[in-house]
Each structure stands twice: as structure tokens, then as C-alpha cells.
Amino acid sequence: MQQPSVSLSHDTASFGWRSRLQAATIHLALSALVAMLAGVLVFMFWFPYPYREISGGRELFQLVVSVDVVLGPLITFAVYNLAKPRAELRRDLALVALLQLAGLGYGLWTVHLARPVHMVFELDRFRVVHQVEIPLELAAKAPSDIEIAPLLGPTLISLRPFRDPQENMEMTMAALGGVSLSARPELWQSYEAGRPQVLKAAKPVSELISRFPQRQADIEATLRKAGGDAAHASYLPLVARKAEAWTVLLDAGNAQVLGYLPLDSF
């Protein structure tokens, strides 16, 4: 006479597991959709190519999203129980959603602060500057025509010449102390104003090919994508957050950026 009771208990437990798995799966699908929308924001505006590579945007976003997307459904699986009163179950699920959204919001804020805001021509190279690297106390010193931290992707700017030897020494000492010249808004100017210095510092791409003959195909392919060619192109090294350096390919006539290569050309 006990067998039906055991069978009923087994069926109930099995249904409970299935309902939890179904709820967690739905939560996972919704989380993945939200992560995709966040990815559009991050990779289209904050870390467009090549910054997702050279500034570590891809790894940072993957870390934030993977933790958030995995933990939310796991917690749902743990708390979902149809035996609970409906009001209590709704409360638990709402709390899980709020915690997950708070975690995602904090993660995206971290990515936002780490995002690149400018690519700056600095003396004889380009340097990527990220929002977190700009001292807050210097933000008000940025030129009126240059936004301190644009939301819609990094802008291309340059550094103005030092006013005198005293400023040169002060800024160089500050750079040795950890604040790069490119992260100082008072030194910023438009890229157009620094174009003559860019053209003067840039080196012919033919020299780059001579140094790295094994990368000739990559160099020429990158130039072709932009409608350029090696005979009319130049290059400068690019400093970014990650250890490896990159190279910026330029139009030798007007210093327009033609492309980027993961190549250390220092």
C-alpha cells in the first residue's frame, strides 16, 4: 500500500527539478539577451576596433558578463519552488533580478571608466588614453572644443608644444611620476593643429616592411582596406594599456589614420 505514495513523492520531486530547470533556462536566455544589448553598447561605442583589442575591452566585458549571466540563473534555480506562496516566489525572483541588474550595472560602470577616450599624438608616437587615467583635478583644464571623456568612442587629438623649458621639465617630471603627457588635458589640442608634427614624426611604410618582411602581406592588406598603398603611407607606434604595442598606419600626405596593426614598431 506504500508504493503509490513513494511513486507520487518521486513524481513530485521530479516535477520540482524540471520546473526549476525551466525557470533557470528562461532566466539564462533573458540574461544572454541583456548581455548582447550591453555588448552592442560596449563594442560599438566604448571599445570599437581596435580598442577592444589594445585596451583590454574584450576581456573586461567577458569577465563582467560571464559572472553576471551565470550567477543569476544559478540563483534562480536555487530559489525557484512552486510550493512557495505565489507572492513569496515573485518577491524572491524580483530580488534575484534586482541583484543581477545591480551587478551588471556596476560591471558596466567599471567598463565605462576603463574605456578609451582619446588617441593622442604624443611627440613621436600615439598613445591611447583611458578615462580612469585622467586626473579628476585636471579635467577642467581641457580645451573647450575637446570633450574630456566622449561617450561615443575615442577621438583623435594631439599634444600642443610646450610653452617654455620650465613647462617641459614640469610635465616630464609629472610623466615620470605616473601621469602621462597624453593624460593631461591642459596639453591637448586638435589633431588638425598637430598634423604637421605628425607628418614630420611619421616614417615611411617601406621602412616598416624592411624591418618586418614577414608582415608585408598584413601591412599591405590593411592599407588596401582603407584605399591606400605602401608607397603613399607612413606609420607611427601606438602605446596602449596592454603589454604589446601596436602600429598606426597613416596617409603620408595628410596624416589621416588608415589602419592599425598588432605590430611593435618601436
Shared domain for 18 and 100, answered yes or no, is yes
Q: Which of 84, 114, 144 is the last residue of a domain?
A: 114
- pLDDT value for 8: 45
Its domain, for residue 187, covers 118-197
Shared domain for 106 and 26, answered yes or no, is yes
pLDDT tens digit sequence for 45-98? 999 888 888 887 778 888 878 877 888 888 888 888 888 888 888 898 899 889
Shared domain for 18 and 108, answered yes or no, is yes
Task: Find how far residue 1's CA is from the centre of its chain.
Answer: 66
Radius of gyration of the chain (CA): 26
Shared domain for 75 and 96, answered yes or no, is yes
pLDDT tens digit sequence for 125-168? 999 999 999 999 999 999 999 999 998 889 999 999 999 999 99
Q: Which of 144, 175, 197 is the last residue of a domain?
A: 197
Enter the pTM of the model: 0.82
pLDDT tens digit sequence for 188-230? 999 999 999 999 999 999 999 999 999 999 999 999 999 999 9
Number of domain units in the chain: 3
Per-residue HEC secondary structure of 130-156 comes to EHHHCCHHHHHHCCCCCCCCCCCCCEE
Residue 24 has which C-alpha cell? 533557470
Beta bridge partners of 130: 116
Report which DSSP code applies to 31.
H
Shared domain for 104 and 139, answered yes or no, is no
Reduced to 3 states (helix: H, G, I; strand: E, B; else coil), residue 261 is strand
Q: DSSP letters of 41-84?
A: HIIIIIS-TTHHHHT-HHHHHHHHHHHHHHHHHHHHHHH--TTS
Shared domain for 152 and 216, answered yes or no, is no
Shared domain for 56 and 139, answered yes or no, is no
Whole-angstrom Cα distance, residue 207 to residue 203? Answer: 7
Shared domain for 125 and 99, answered yes or no, is no
Residue 138 has which C-alpha cell? 585636471
User: Judging by beta carbons within 10 Å of its beta carbon (0-12, 13-18, 19+), is residue 83 exposed, middle or buried?
Assistant: exposed
Confidence class of residue 12 from pLDDT cuts 50, 70 and 90?
low
Q: Which of 99, 114, 129 is the last residue of a domain?
A: 114
Neighbours of 260 (CB within 10 A): 19
For the cut 50, the answer to whether the pLDDT of residue 1 exceeds it is no
